[in-house]
Amino acid sequence: MNPLFQQPLKVVNAGLAGFADNLKQANGDVVALSWQPPALGDVQAGLDLAALIRHPLVEQANQIAFERYLSAQPVLIDVMSAAEAIGAMAQRKLILHSGPPIAWPDMCGPVKGAIVGAILFEGWAADHQAAERLITEGVVELEPCHHYQAVGPMAGIISPSMPLWVIENKTNGQRAFSNFNEGLGKVLRFGANNDEVLQRLQWMKQELAPALKAAVRQLGELELKPLMAQALHMGDEVHNRNAAATGLLIKRLVPALLACDLPMATLQRVVAFMTGNDHFFLNLSMAACKAMMDAAGGVPHSSMVTVMARNGVNFGIRLSGTGDRWFQAPANAVEGLFFPGYGVDDAAADLGDSAITETAGVGGFAMASSPAIVKFVGGTPADATNNSRRMQAITVGANPAFTLPALNFAPTAAGIDARKVADRQILPVINTGIAHKQAGVGQIGAGITTAPMSCFVEAIQALAQALPTGEPA
């Protein structure tokens, strides 16, 4: 030991940073490791995690789920009303919202405002007070979009008369749905429900949807993965930046619209609406990702995450191996850039179904392809690249359909593995808009957030409990 202490020493400190600080003050050479016990330090959860690591049933299930995700081929095939596309909505006064299940009294301001707006749009009530009575009396039912293979950004509202994009996975025939993007400003997805919002929704239903339905029929169908892949090479990450993807979509839709013999005034209004909204493709991106992740669902014992969604109060995830069960925790705040006049105290918690893009390996996972996004969400281009690299540590594999030029065309990390999240203490990164906590104010910024760790800890415990007894770990 004496010769050892006569040599220059470098200390590795794991745990409390205070120990490393003391050594630095004594002029010691110290490396501080940012380390925490896995699974939030919960002993039983740690044991459950250990049982799942390298478990042959879990490994095999994850490969099955991941291959199904990779082989999914989401295609735009139609435009339908929600009542046509989703059978339950033709039979009940049903409104769908973003995120995991939540009761009306517990909802955040933007979601409540959007639900009231949807009731007014449907003509079920004449004013706000009457609309709220329909909810509290149980006449109008509220359920998550994800329960009906659907997704919606921010408040995520879908009501029976609203037009939906219809996406079909050509590999298995399953469908996914999303509403139309309304643009920016005073819009339903941020809880606005005044006459301007309702009139726009009526126009979308009466003129925009029939025109786009005719255009999609003229096209026959539109494969979405190649379009998304091309957009990644043009500076999008197809969550918060969709400028290129929207341009590519318009390039396909406009010739089809011209071939439909529509009235010139209709054509002008439809094209102006699409070209005036760089986020017009977002809802298609979300529906395509939903179709890909639904393909991976329902594989017993798989620890692959198939849903991440937020309702402005709670964040919820689902695993392939635990079916329709939600694992929830309070949604994190979003750290980012605020529009002038707004700050953290004005913001709602993380909100919307758009985290389905990150679940499918794009969005925040593909930020390396979109250095311009940092001017919107904060940070630097190096941060964007580091986010994409870091996600490789928590995924089952990578998706060769989506490649990142800034990383030498490396495939995006994909297939979030709940085991790796809990074990490595690395949370999935999500870039997102920030909504004002009051209904109708709208978007007040954008930034970066993560899922709460406790969701993943609870999920792996449920997965471990479902393992057959006597199976080797």
Predicted confidence (pLDDT) at residue 473 exceeds the cutoff of 60: no
* Residue range 47-56: mean pLDDT, rounded: 96
Q: What is the pLDDT of residues 132-148, one digit of tens each?
A: 999 999 999 999 999 99
Q: Phi and psi of 295, rounded to 5°?
A: -60, -30
Quick count: other Cβ atoms within 10 Å of Cβ 75?
18
**Kind and range of the H or E element at 19?**
helix 17-25
Q: Which pLDDT value is given to residue 472?
A: 46
Minimum mean pLDDT among 152-156, 219-223, 296-300, 371-375: which range?
371-375
As a whole number, mean pLDDT of residues 276-292 equals: 97
Q: What is the CA radius of gyration of the chain?
A: 23
pTM above 0.85, yes or no: yes
- 3-state class (DSSP) for residue 272: helix
Angle at 452 between CA 62 and CA 407, to 5 degrees: 60
Local confidence band at 469 (pLDDT 50, 70, 90 cut-offs): confident
The full 3-state SS of 148-195, as one line of letters, equals HCEECCCCCCECCCCEEEEEEECCCCCEEEEECCCCCCCCHHHCCCCH
What pLDDT score was predicted for residue 371? 87
Pairing of strands 141-144, 150-151: unpaired
Q: State the fold for domain 42-68+297-465.
A: v583 fold (3.90.1700)
> Above 80 in pLDDT, residue 43?
yes
| Residue 325 predicted with pLDDT over 90 | yes
Percent of the chain past pLDDT 70, that is, above it, reads 95
Q: What is the mean pLDDT of residues 21-27?
A: 72
* Across 115-127, average pLDDT: 98
- Residue position matching structure tokens 């609309």: 131
DSSP characters for 340-373? TT--GGGBPPSEESTTHHHHTT-GGGGGGG-GGG
CA 15/CA 441 separation, integer angstroms: 44
pLDDT computed for residue 405 by the predictor: 96
Average pLDDT over residues 11-38: 72
- Rounded to an integer, the average pLDDT of 383-406 is 96
Question: What is the residue extent of each domain of the chain?
Answer: 2-35, 42-68+297-465, 74-286
CA–CA separation, 351 vs 99, rounded Å?
A: 7
Express as a percent the part of the chain with pLDDT over 90.
82
- In angstroms, the CA 458 to CA 456 distance is 5
Topology alike, domains 42-68+297-465 and 74-286? no
> How far, CA to CA in Å, does 242 sit from each of 51, 132, 181, 209, 315?
41, 35, 12, 21, 24
Length of the chain: 473
pLDDT band at 34 (very low <50, low <70, confident <90, very high): low
468: amino acid identity, one letter: P
Q: Is the pLDDT of residue 179 over 90?
A: yes
Query: Average pLDDT of 343-353?
Result: 93
- Mention the CATH class of domain 74-286: alpha beta
- Each residue's pLDDT tens digit, 222-272: 999 999 999 999 999 999 999 999 999 999 999 999 999 999 999 999 999
**Residue scoring higher pLDDT (88 or 30):** 88
